[in-house]
């Protein structure tokens, strides 16, 4: 009976987390690694903790009340967690548990000094380290003192900070239990922390050692500035030796004291370079055992290292898997698609299967390996030029990697008469430019519609393995339409005409971003039409007071049937249904097929419709489009007249007129391929969900949305084999997906794990202003509304929308705002294109805008110059 309450560290490993907690399981595993010394000791298991809770029934009631407290109710968390701690500490430890602990202490020495350390079951996990959330007590002497501190460790499961941390990570307090590790005390010469990967840059080849004199708690508590050693490839490449004025030491009778370090010793390094390198070697062995970078606490005694803790570094962005050890450079797909949230497994695999280039997944995001493009002079120049126009921060991050000279091999000299891959055939001649003819766009759209109609028709009869075979064939058609050379030419023609107009009119007339005005209300932009169309829906709703009242009370997505009851409801429903028929496949984060579409959750649109009812006048959509077109025409007349007055002005005006026609012909089409992709994806999704429902009925899948946590290939195999889905796999994927939300994806990532987000190297930004990319001309001042969820947007006329990213689904909000600021984006991303269509001053790529700009503060957006001022 006693054995379940106490286990020796040597008897546990990672499989025993439920019994000995994360810290205990890791220490047990560490003690089994050859060459790694771990102080001896034992674990008081979670069975003992559960006995204590059973003896204090009041704790259960308090835990239930804690679970019902609101997510932001800090006072309830503070009060209830304090009551739970007091109750646990006041509960007597049962005799059989006391006896088991006493016997374990006798094995190691009753009068010896011990470290008594909390070890929760939700601790040192791959996705949440819980570092510093529960208590540790050092140099505890005597059986009574050890028992008393074990009770304190049990109670520390419910410190306010631990409860808050669990809530942030989606962990129910009632599901977590506490074990306690009791280890022989180590009295070190030096101690500290080793990170086997750089915790700041993420570089996996670089290890960082923090070191100080005495006990390591002084570093953890921030009492001293540590020495810092940076170790790379087996040598110290940088070191900082600090003045270590204080140290923490053990008292003979128990407890610790803070002491002053001798003046002559303060500037001495706590470790030699050789010791730091040896310690990192130990760390690499531990890292290899656990399979991921580690945060390791160590002690140095008589030139031997003891490891007292190892936990995963949970803040590092994962690195894509690779087949070889060659250095790689990856660029984020999400930043180009204006969707940097994590995606579920099905969404990732579907995007990979339908993309025109290979993509790697990491951290729930997708990346493209651009290393081959950087390996040749022509490829490197073209790639940097493209990113310089699309997202300057990506270009800067790439240039940072290239500029080091020690990561990518140097460029070879271009051989005469060879193509960009060196040694290949001469480059193919550029295709003739596409004619400036609206019929080109019309024909492309008709072909896309025909392809979509065929998909919708043919998929209806498919199910089971035949469905997946059909989808694999459909993905090839998907890529054929997406990669249609004529479509690519049309998109490129619009972008090149934009750049030409900005460059030439800037050179000839001093005009800044002239194309922004010249492309206002360009025809055929499906995304801007989508925003204006919701204004038309609001026009139907506005004169129907009973419908407005009904919509104000909508709480769920089943409201459409209820619209038949209020006066005018059928008319309003018809307008909303018509909108959903054309745009219902869209949603925020739409590149992830698992995201709920507007057709699935139409309630998402209700707040936007009501905002338009309140803030817009009847006929606003047509009026706004006409005003934009007229403004573009006036701008065209203005620049052409001014050009004709210049030397060689007739030729310059004629070429400019040709480019204006070209940009207005093709720039709207830029948005259509994405609309086609999302339309096809919704058809795929509906078919896969029907298949998931069939699997649920057959008992092979617990819930239809569990399919979202399987890759397309895994779902295909379940259907083919008729074998049930492993619920543990789904649970692990769900937990990983939740954890990925805490990670910020970098714009550029290396195979060493270094995460680079780039920087603006500008001297034209006023002090205190936030730099970004100028994507839509004009200057506007207004109230900043920081919106992270489109469904929660509460906007008034004249507000400036500040958000992380805006994919096409955000365009219905654009018609009611005065300006736009985003954290992600470039000149030709969707938000930028639509902002120009609507004439909204916009700055994108503003790092941490949603954190640095307070909601409700007045700001000034300089859409022509690319910065944002926060006004007092």
Residues marked active site are found at 830
- In whole angstroms, give the CA distance from residue 138 to residue 181: 12
Give the helix/strand (H/E) hosting 127.
none
Contact 839, 778 (CB under 8 A): yes
Contact 301, 189 (CB under 8 A): yes
Beta bridge partners of 309: 297
CA nearest neighbour of 41 among 28, 51, 52: 28
CA nearest neighbour of 677 among 807, 838, 812, 823: 807
- List Cβ neighbours of 85 (8 Å cut-off, separation of 6 or more): 155, 156, 158, 159
- In whole angstroms, give the CA distance from residue 852 to residue 586: 30
Beta bridge partners of 257: 249
- List Cβ neighbours of 666 (8 Å cut-off, separation of 6 or more): 434, 436, 440, 441, 490, 491, 493, 494, 497
Count of beta carbons in the 10 Å neighbourhood of residue 785: 20
* Per-residue b or e along 140-159, where b marks 16 or more CB atoms closer than 10 Å to that residue's CB: bbbeebbbebbbbbbbbbbb
What angle, 0 to 180 degrees and rounded to 10, lies between the N-to-C axes of helices 649-666 and 438-459? 10
Beta bridge partners of 780: 861
Count of beta carbons in the 10 Å neighbourhood of residue 617: 9
Give the helix/strand (H/E) hosting 644.
helix 620-644
Calculate the dihedral angle through the C-alpha atoms of 400, 406, 409, 414, rounding to the nearest 10 degrees.
Answer: 60
Q: Could you tell me the end-to-end alpha-carbon distance of the chain, in angstroms, rounded to an integer?
A: 68
CA nearest neighbour of 336 among 369, 368, 363: 368
Contact 825, 844 (CB under 8 A): yes
Distance from chain centroid for Cα 401: 22
DSSP 8-state secondary structure symbol assigned to residue 810:
G
- In whole angstroms, give the CA distance from residue 744 to residue 150: 38
Contact 825, 391 (CB under 8 A): yes
* Per-residue b or e along 245-263, where b marks 16 or more CB atoms closer than 10 Å to that residue's CB: ebbbebeeebebeeeebee
- In whole angstroms, give the CA distance from residue 602 to residue 576: 9
Contact 119, 178 (CB under 8 A): yes
- In whole angstroms, give the CA distance from residue 140 to residue 146: 6
- Please provide the DSSP assignment of 444-495 as one string: HHHHHHHHHHHHHHHHTT--HHHHHHHHHHHHHHHHHHHT-HHHHHHHHHHH
Edge-to-edge strand order for the sheet containing 748-750?
A: 360-362, 365-369, 329-332, 748-750, 755-756
Strand, helix or coil for residue 861 = strand
- In whole angstroms, give the CA distance from residue 13 to residue 16: 6
Strand, helix or coil for residue 116 = strand
């Amino acid at each position: 009976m006693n054995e379940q309450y106490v286990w020796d560290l040597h008897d546990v490993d990672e499989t025993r987390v439920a019994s000995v907690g994360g810290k205990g399981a890791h220490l047990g595993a560490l003690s089994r690694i050859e060459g790694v010394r771990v102080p001896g000791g034992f674990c008081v298991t979670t069975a003992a903790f559960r006995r204590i809770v059973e003896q204090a029934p009041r704790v259960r009631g308090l835990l239930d009340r804690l679970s019902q407290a609101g997510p932001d109710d800090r006072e309830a968390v503070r009060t209830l967690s304090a009551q739970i701690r007091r109750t646990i500490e006041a509960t007597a430890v049962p005799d059989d548990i006391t006896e088991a602990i006493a016997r374990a202490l006798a094995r190691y020495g009753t009068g010896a000094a011990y470290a008594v350390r909390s070890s929760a079951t939700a601790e040192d996990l791959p996705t949440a380290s819980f570092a510093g959330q529960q208590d540790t007590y050092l140099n505890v002497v005597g059986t009574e003192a050890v028992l008393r501190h074990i009770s304190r460790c049990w109670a520390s499961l419910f410190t306010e900070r631990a409860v808050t941390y669990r809530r942030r990570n989606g962990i129910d307090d009632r599901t977590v239990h506490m074990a306690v590790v009791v280890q022989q005390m180590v009295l070190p010469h030096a101690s500290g922390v080793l990170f086997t990967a750089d915790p700041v840059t993420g570089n996996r080849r670089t290890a960082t050692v923090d070191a100080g004199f005495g006990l390591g708690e002084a570093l953890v508590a921030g009492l001293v500035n540590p020495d810092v050693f940076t170790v790379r490839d087996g040598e110290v490449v940088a070191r900082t030796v600090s003045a270590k004025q204080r140290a923490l030491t053990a008292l003979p009778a128990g407890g610790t004291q803070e002491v002053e370090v001798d003046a002559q010793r303060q500037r001495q390094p706590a470790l030699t370079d050789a010791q730091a390198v040896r310690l990192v070697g130990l760390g690499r062995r531990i890292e290899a055992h656990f399979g991921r970078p580690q945060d390791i606490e160590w002690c140095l005694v008589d030139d031997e290292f003891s490891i007292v803790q190892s936990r995963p570094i949970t803040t590092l962005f994962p690195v894509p898997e690779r087949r070889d050890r060659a250095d790689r450079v990856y660029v984020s797909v999400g930043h180009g698609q204006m969707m940097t949230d994590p995606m579920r497994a099905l969404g990732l695999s579907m995007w990979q299967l339908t993309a025109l280039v290979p993509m790697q997944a990491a951290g729930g995001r997708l990346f493209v390996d651009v290393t081959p493009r950087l390996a040749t002079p022509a490829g490197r120049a073209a790639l940097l030029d493209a990113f310089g126009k699309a997202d300057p921060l990506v270009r800067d991050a790439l240039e940072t990697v290239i500029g080091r000279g020690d990561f990518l091999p140097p460029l070879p000299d271009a051989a005469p008469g060879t193509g960009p891959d060196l040694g290949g055939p001469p480059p193919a001649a550029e295709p003739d430019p596409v004619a400036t003819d609206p019929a080109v766009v019309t024909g492309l759209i008709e072909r896309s519609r025909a392809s979509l109609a065929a998909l919708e028709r043919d998929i209806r009869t498919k199910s089971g393995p035949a469905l997946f075979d059909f989808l694999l064939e459909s993905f090839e058609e998907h890529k054929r339409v997406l990669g249609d050379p004529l479509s690519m030419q049309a998109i490129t023609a619009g972008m090149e005409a934009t750049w030409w107009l900005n460059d030439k009119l800037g050179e000839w007339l001093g005009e800044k971003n002239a194309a922004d005005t010249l492309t206002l209300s360009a025809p055929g932009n499906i995304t801007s039409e989508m925003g204006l169309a919701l204004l038309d829906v609001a026009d139907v709703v506005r004169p129907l007071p009973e419908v407005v009242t009904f919509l104000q009370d909508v709480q769920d997505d089943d409201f459409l049937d209820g619209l038949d009851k209020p006066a005018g409801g059928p008319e309003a429903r018809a307008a909303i249904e018509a909108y959903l028929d054309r745009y219902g496949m869209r949603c925020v984060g739409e590149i992830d097929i698992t995201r709920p579409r507007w057709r699935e959750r139409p309630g998402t649109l209700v707040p936007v419709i009501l905002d338009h009812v309140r803030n817009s006048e009847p006929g606003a959509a047509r009026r706004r489009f006409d005003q934009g077109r007229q403004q573009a025409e006036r701008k065209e007349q203005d620049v052409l007249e001014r050009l004709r007055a210049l030397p060689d002005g007739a030729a310059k005006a004629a070429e400019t007129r040709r480019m204006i026609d070209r940009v207005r012909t093709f720039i709207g089409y830029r948005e259509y391929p994405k609309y086609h992709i999302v339309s096809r994806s919704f058809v795929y999704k509906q078919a896969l969900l029907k298949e998931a429902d069939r699997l649920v009925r057959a008992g092979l899948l617990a819930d239809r949305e569990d399919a979202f946590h399987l890759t397309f290939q895994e779902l295909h195999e379940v259907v083919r084999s008729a074998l049930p889905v492993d619920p543990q796999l789904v649970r692990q994927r769900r937990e990983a997906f939740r954890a990925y939300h805490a990670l910020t994806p970098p714009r550029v990532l290396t195979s060493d794990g270094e995460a680079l987000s780039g920087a603006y190297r500008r001297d034209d930004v006023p002090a205190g202003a936030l730099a970004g990319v100028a994507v839509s001309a004009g200057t506007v001042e207004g109230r900043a509304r920081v919106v992270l969820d489109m469904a929660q947007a509460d906007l008034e006329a004249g507000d400036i929308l500040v958000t992380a990213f805006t994919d096409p689904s955000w365009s219905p909000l654009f018609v009611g705002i005065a300006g736009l600021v985003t954290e992600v984006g470039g000149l030709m991303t969707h938000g930028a294109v639509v902002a120009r269509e609507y004439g909204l001053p916009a700055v994108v790529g503003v790092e941490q805008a949603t954190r640095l700009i307070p909601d409700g503060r007045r700001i000034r957006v300089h859409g022509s110059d690319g910065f944002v001022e926060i006004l007092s």
